[in-house]
A and B are shown apart, each in its own frame.
Chain A
Amino acid sequence: MIFPSRDFKVLSGFSSDLEARGVLCSPEPGTSQGRAMLTFMASDSEEEVCDERTSLMSAESPPPRCCQEARQGLEDGENAAQWRSQDSEEDLDDADRYVCSGVPGQPLGLEEELTLKYGAKHVIMLFVPVTLCMIVVVATIKSVRFYTEKNGQLIYTPFTEDTPSVGQRLLNSVLNTLIMISVIVAMTIFLVVLYKYRCYKFIHGWLIMSSLMLLFLFTYIYLGEVLKTYNVAMDYPTLFLTVWNFGAVGMVCIHWKGPLVLQQAYLIMISALMALVFIKYLPEWSAWVILGAISVYDLVAVLCPKGPLRMLVETAQERNEPIFPALIYSSAMVWTVGMAKLDPSSQGALQLPYDPEMEEDSYDSFGEPSYPEVFEPPLPGSPEGELEEEEERGVKLGLGDFIFYSVLVGKAAATGSGDWNTTLACFVAILIGLCLTLLLLAVFKKALPALPISITFGLIFYFSTDNLVRPFMDTLASHQLYI
C-alpha cells in the first residue's frame, strides 16, 4: 500500500501491508498494525509462500490530535487495502473520511497546496525502495540458478504447463489463475469476517507466524543458495548465528520498534524474498495470467462499493479504529513546525506507547489474501504536547505492491529471451505506472489500487519488447547499427 501524505488516500488492491507503526502518525496509537497470514503449502521444502497485498495509499500525517487511520491490507495480493486517515476531530464529517484533508481547520486550498507540494517528493521516495527491491530480485535471478529451476509447483497452481499443445497450456494456466484468485478472494472474505467478529488475537498470531516464516526459513534457504552459487563454505554455527541475528532483528524492527531505515530495509528484503518464491514456483504462463487477474481484482476490490476491502474500511470506520495493520513500507518524513525537528527514526520508534498490538506482517501465505489485522484501540490523543506541531508527511506503500512489481520484473529477467532489454523495459514501465498512480492519487484524493496501471504497463512492455523490440535490437546490435 502506498500511503501518500495525508491528503492522499490511495487504496491499492493489495493490502497486506502492515502499517508502519509510529511512522504514520505519531500521536496516533493504533496506526501500526499489521497482519500477516501465513499459509503453509503442503509441498516440498520451501513451499511456504506468503502473499502480500499492497495497496497504494497516501500516507497522511494526521494532525497532532488523534488521527486514526483505517487501513486494510489484504494479503495474497488481491485485495486492495484501503487506508484511510480519519481525523478524530469532530469537524470532519463522515463524507470526508475517505478523503483526509489534512489538518482540520485549514482552508482546503492550503491543504491541497501542501499536498501537491510534496507529491513529487513522495513519488521519488517510492521510486527508491521499489527500484531497490527490483534490483535485488533481478540480481538474484540472474546469478542464482536455484530460482529459475523448476522444482514443482505450489498446490494453488496444480495444473502443469508441460502439455503438448498450446491450447492445453493456456487452459491450464487460466485454471491455475482461477484457483489462485478464488483462494485469495476466500481469504479476503475470511479476513473481513475475522475483523467483523473482532478476532484480533488470531490475526496477530497469524501475522507473527508469517513473518517468522519469512524471516527465518526463507532467509536460510536464500542464503544457502547464494553460498552454493558462489561456492563459499560456511559452517553451521556461523550460519545459525547469521540467520538468527538477521531474523531476530527483523522481527523486532518490523513488529516492534526500530530505526526507520532498518525497518525499510527489512521490508524490502522480505518483499524480495517473497517475490523470489513466487517467481520460482509459478509456472510461466500462469504467472502472467495471475498478474493480470490480480490487477483486475485489485481494481474491483478497491473501487467497488461491495468490495471486501471497502467493507473492511467501512467497518473500521464505524468502530473508529485504525484499520488493519498491513505490511506497509513507510518512508515517513517529519517536519516540525516551530519545534525542534524530531528524528524520524525515533519518531517511528517512540511513537506508540503500546506495542504488542502493532505488528507488521506482510506475509500472506501463498494464495491467501493477507488480511490486515491489528486492531488497536485508539489512543487518547497525542501524548506529548510538542508533537502537536509536527506534521508527518510520508508515503506508505503496501508490500504486496512491491512483491508483484518485483515478480513481474523478475519473471521478465528469468524468462525473457531478450535478456536485459526486456527487463529494463519492464522496470521503466512499472516506474511510469507508479508515477501515474501517484498522480491519480493526488487528483482523486482517495484510496486507489496501485497495481493495475503498473502491471498493465509492465505486461504490455514485456510482451511487446520480447516479441517486437528484441529481435530488432539484436539485429541492430549485431551489425553495430544505431538508430
Chain B
Amino acid sequence: MTAAVFFGCAFIAFGPALALYIFTIATEPLRVIFLIIGKASEGLKSINPDETAPSMRLLAYVSGLGFGIMSGVFAFVNTLSDSLGPGTVGIHGDSPQFFLNSGAYPLIEKTRLNKTFMTLVIILLHVFWGIIFFDGCEKKKWSALLVVLLTHLLVSALTFISPHYGINLVSTYIIMVLMGIWAFFVAGGSCRSLKFCLLCQDKDFLLFNQRSR
C-alpha cells in the first residue's frame, strides 16, 4: 500500500485512455462534451454550425472512449484508493465485502494486478467496440452488431473463471487486438495508410499537422 503502487496501477490502467484523451479530445471542446454526454447529440452539433460537423466515426470513437473510461473508473477506482492505504480514503468505511474477499497478501497483489490490466483492456475494448458498433448501425450491418455483443459477453464470461487470471487476461488481450484490427479497417484505415503512417510518409497527416500549428 504505497504511493508507488497507486501511481503504477493508475497509470497502467488509465495511461492509454488518458493519452488518447489528451491527444485527441482535450483540444476540441466539442469532443469533450460528447465524451461527457456519452452519445452524439444532435443538439450539441447544432451549437457548432461553423465547424464541420463531427463525423460519425469521431463520435463513435469519443463515445466509446467515454464509456470505456467510465466503466474502467467505476471498476477500478476503489482498488486504487485502497492501494493508498486505509485512513486516507473513505472515512465512513469501505464496503466490508471488499476487505473480506481480499484474502492473503500475495493474493491481494495478484488481484490488484489483474484488475489493473483488465481495466486497461476493457477501456481499449470499449473504444473499439464503439467504433465497430456505430459503423454497424450506420451501414446496417447487423452481423457486426452481433459480433460486438457476443465478444462483449465473451469477455465478461471469461472473467468468471476468476482464479485463473492468466488465461483470462491473455484471451481478453487477444480479443482486444482482433477488435482493434477490425476497428482500424472499419474506420477507414488500410494496410497502405498504415505503412504511410509508420514511415512518416502520410502527406495528409503531415499537412494536417502543419496546418494545426
Contact = CB atoms under 8 A, between A and B. Distances in A.
B16 to A, nearest CB: 17
A60 B78 CA distance: 42
Contact of A478 (B49, B77, B98): B98
Given A116-B47, A435-B37, A424 B98 contact: no
A386 B115 CA distance: 59
B151 interface: no
Interface stretch (B4-12, B155-163, B179-187): B155-163
A414 B78 CA distance: 15
A124 B95 contact: no
A428 interface: yes
B75 A476 contact: yes
Interface in A422-478: 424, 428, 431-432, 435, 439, 442-443, 470, 473-478
A116 B95 contact: no
A479 interface: yes
Nearest to B87: A143
A482 B95 CA distance: 18
A306 interface: no
Q: How large is the interface on A (under 10, 10 to 19, 20 to 34, 35 or more residues)?
A: 35 or more
Contact of B91 (A148, A432, A483): A148
Contact of A116 (B33, B46, B74, B111): B46
B88 interface: yes
A220 interface: no
A478 B97 contact: yes
A431 B36 contact: yes
B138 interface: no
A127 B162 contact: no
A419 B49 contact: no
A121 B44 CA distance: 11
Contact of A119 (B48, B98, B156): B48
A439 B75 CA distance: 31
Contact of B88 (A143, A475, A478): A143
Nearest to A419: B90
A301 to B, nearest CB: 26
B88 A120 contact: no
A431 B36 CA distance: 7
A419 B81 contact: yes
B78 A481 contact: no
Interface string B119-153: 00010000000000000000000000000000000
B166 interface: no
B159 A480 contact: yes
A318 B51 CA distance: 40
Contact of A419 (B43, B95, B160): B95
A170 interface: no
A474 B111 CA distance: 15
Given A142-B91, A481-B160, A482-B156, 14 more contacts: A116-B47, A116-B48, A116-B49, A120-B33, A148-B92, A417-B95, A419-B89, A419-B94, A420-B78, A432-B37, A435-B37, A480-B115, A480-B118, A480-B162
19 contacts: A116-B49, A117-B50, A117-B51, A120-B30, A124-B32, A145-B91, A414-B92, A419-B90, A420-B77, A421-B74, A428-B36, A432-B36, A439-B44, A473-B74, A473-B78, A480-B115, A482-B118, A482-B155, A483-B156
